A and B are shown apart, each in its own frame.
Chain A
Amino acid sequence: MTQSAAGRHPSPPEQAMDPVERVAGSDLLARAATVAEAEPGSLAALGGEGEVEVRQHASLWGDAWRRLVRNRLALIGMVIVVTFILVAILAPVLAPYEESEVVDVRLARYHPSWTWPLGLDRNGRDILSRMLYGARVSLLVGVVSYLIVLTIAIPIGSIAGYYGGFVDNVLMRGVDIIFTIPQVLLVLMFVNWRGPGLTNIFLAIGLIGWVTEARLIRGQMLLLREQEYIKASRVAGARAPYIVLRHLLPNSLTPIIVAATFGIPTAIFTEAAISFVGVGIRPPAASWGQMVGEASRPSDIQTDPHMLIFPVLAIGLTMLGFTFLGDGLRDALDPKGND
């Protein structure tokens, strides 16, 4: 983050400059760079751009990115999360064995060695391979469940928050009731009803987890709908769906992103927990929680702790990574936290 970095920055194309931005200020070049960054692209697309030192003119995303990479814990978190995602996607390439392939039954519980770096489990399967495929399950659960959460939470939260009054009351009392029951309890009951398996885990976590996000989105809508620009839009004749989709939701993006960095690991943890107690994923499919459950008999813990420690560490580390990243993102995106 040095001043000279601005000089090394490649000059951006002229058309990237926003006419409004050009009006004031002296350092046009650097400013244009920030504007280019401000393209409503993803956070990741902003990569290396964070090197430019432009304090007061920074856009929300560019500024947030800069604050994020300056935060050491957030960087560690990002590395962990990115590694986790890569491992999950590349599992079939990286894994030396199939998900539930038995290497050799006679070598069951083989301790870590050069041939099998994490050892073999009680059925003689390669723990490393199962861990890699387990990462897949975790990532899938996190992403798919959270998509279900958003699909339900966005319409309900938007309608409740935008219209308020009676509709809001009815919807939110329902949400309150679901909210009173601990979510893990409901998830357990749901998989008890629908049976174990990946699809039911997605549904259980998604159909039950949306209440938190619905509340959040409703709160945002309530907050934003009284803003001047929304009133202006309404006076100009915009209809409710347009206002919600065009103005309210995009402006609620920041809290939703922060919520996702907590919601996704919660989904991952929930799957691990219910698989751990044996009502989650259907064996022989591998999941970290299921591996923990399988390796946790008291007699096994004493003699073969290697079957337990790796999945336990994987869950812990993933949670830690998401927490670091989530905390960092929240600080970075919070406009009040501006240095």
Chain B
Amino acid sequence: MLRYAVNRALLFIPTLLGMTAVTFVIMQLTPGSPFSPSAANGITPEMIAELERKYGLDKPLYERFALYVWNSLHSDFGVSYQYRPQEVRDIIVRTFPVSLQLGTMAVTVAIIVGMTLGILAAVNQNGIIDYLSVTFAILFYSMPNFVMGFLLILGFAVWLPNFGIDFGFRVSGWEGPKDWVLPTIALGAAPLATLARYTRSSMIDVIRSDYVRTARAKGLAERKVILKHVLKNALIPVVTLIGPIFAAVGTGSFFVEQVFNIPGMGRYYVESMQTKDQPMILAVTLIFGIFLAFMNLLVDIAYGLIDPRIRY
């Protein structure tokens, strides 16, 4: 087990380097810089040359890459073109916690509600709870998060207030719990549905297995059968879903933050796309990629720990 974990962790390094290289090369190929000469802003070609020297843009590609990796390792991602003189690091330090909070809330809600729904549905198979949760799951499952976000806004902030029903949820900003509810639902709905569906089918598989029949046959109470025998085995495969869910929530936050005007890393990312703020784009892509790859690593190792049948 330890050896597997170490191996898996070592594989992490070339993955990171490859990822950095891919993003770096694409960014270098990207034409356009924030300093386009024009009559309006009075930037001359000489000033551009000066600026490019300052940001190291005149060096050969491999040298810039090595320098970038070296600097990144020291958490120095350069200065944001758009928000000069703010450093990319400072912007990320400021905005990442917001995204992390939103993401954590969404994942938590998805895991708790999704698994509970899945379990309840499987235990009451073909009952009313099952029917309702399957219907909700399939509706949420296919809904893109920004579509979900706008539906929530239209519902809770535009139409329901017309009928005198107002929960007081706010749909712009990130100050308090009233701002958090709708974005969390928008971001968490799809993973919630995925988890509910997957948990349900995994539970049903186990419920139909021979050893569960044996447990029932020897007269165990249904509650005990489910809690002691079914749950443990049924929830193991569900763990593999957690990795992809982190990825979905992570990238989903770009769009949800845009919809709800949340000052998180995702919104800054989209903004820097629009303004060609290269250091910012590169840094956020990397941090996102590293974060998600790391989560995947943890999930893989956790899976090995939970399921004793897996031997590496």
**Which residues in A have some Cβ–Cβ distance to B below 8 Å?**
73, 173, 176-178, 180-186, 188-190, 192-193, 265, 269, 272-273, 276-279, 292, 296, 298, 301-302, 305, 308-309, 312, 315-316, 319-320, 322-324, 327
Contact = CB atoms under 8 A, between A and B. Distances in A.
A179 B269 CA distance: 20
A309 B157 CA distance: 13
A301 B157 contact: yes
Nearest to B171: A298
A338 to B, nearest CB: 16
B255 A273 contact: yes
B82 interface: no
A12 to B, nearest CB: 38
Contacts of A186: 22, 26
Given A177-B19, A188-B273, A279-B274, 8 more contacts: A183-B251, A185-B288, A298-B171, A302-B157, A302-B158, A312-B150, A312-B151, A319-B147
Contacts of B22: 177-178, 181, 186
Nearest to B197: A327
Most buried by B among A177, A183, A320: A177
B155 to A, nearest CB: 10
B292 A182 contact: yes
B144 A277 contact: no
B23 A181 contact: yes
A180 B157 contact: no
A292 B145 CA distance: 13
Interface of B: 14-15, 18-19, 22-23, 26-27, 29-31, 138-139, 141-144, 146-147, 150-151, 153-154, 157-159, 171-172, 247, 250-251, 254-255, 258-259, 261, 269-270, 273-274, 276, 281, 285, 288-289, 292-293, 296
A320 B285 CA distance: 30
A206 to B, nearest CB: 16
B215 to A, nearest CB: 25
Contacts of A279: 270, 273-274
The 5 closest A-B CB pairs, nearest first, are: A323-B142, A177-B18, A193-B30, A319-B142, A182-B251
Nearest to B269: A188
A180 B15 contact: yes
B27 A189 contact: yes
Contacts of B255: 273, 276-277
Contact of B296 (A180, A185, A323): A180
A323 B190 CA distance: 13
Contacts of A180: 15, 19, 289, 292-293, 296
A197 B171 CA distance: 31
22 contacts: A173-B14, A177-B22, A182-B251, A182-B289, A183-B251, A184-B251, A186-B26, A188-B270, A189-B30, A193-B27, A276-B258, A277-B270, A292-B147, A301-B171, A308-B154, A312-B150, A312-B154, A316-B147, A319-B143, A320-B138, A320-B143, A327-B138
B148 to A, nearest CB: 8
Most buried by A among B172, B251, B274: B251
A301 B19 contact: no
A227 B199 CA distance: 33
State the main secondary structure of chain B at its contact with A: helix
Nearest to B296: A180
Contacts of B159: 305
Contacts of B142: 265, 316, 319-320, 322-324
B250 A193 contact: no
A315 B255 CA distance: 15
Nearest to A195: B31
Given A178-B22, A189-B285, A301-B157, A315 B147 contact: yes
B154 A305 contact: yes
A181 B273 contact: no
A301 B153 contact: yes
B180 to A, nearest CB: 17
A269 B150 CA distance: 15
Contacts of B23: 181, 189
A277 B273 contact: yes
Nearest to B21: A177
Nearest to A189: B26
Contacts of A189: 23, 26-27, 30, 281, 285
Nearest to B274: A278
Nearest to A183: B251
Nearest to A277: B270
Contacts of A272: 144
A323 B150 contact: no
A320 B171 CA distance: 25
B246 to A, nearest CB: 10
A269 B292 contact: no
Nearest to A302: B158
A177 B157 contact: no
Contacts of B27: 189, 193
Contacts of B144: 269, 272-273, 315-316, 319
A181 B159 CA distance: 39
B141 A323 contact: yes
A181 B143 contact: no
B267 to A, nearest CB: 9
A182 B288 contact: yes
Contacts of B254: 184, 188, 277
Contacts of A265: 142
A305 B30 CA distance: 37
B19 A298 contact: no
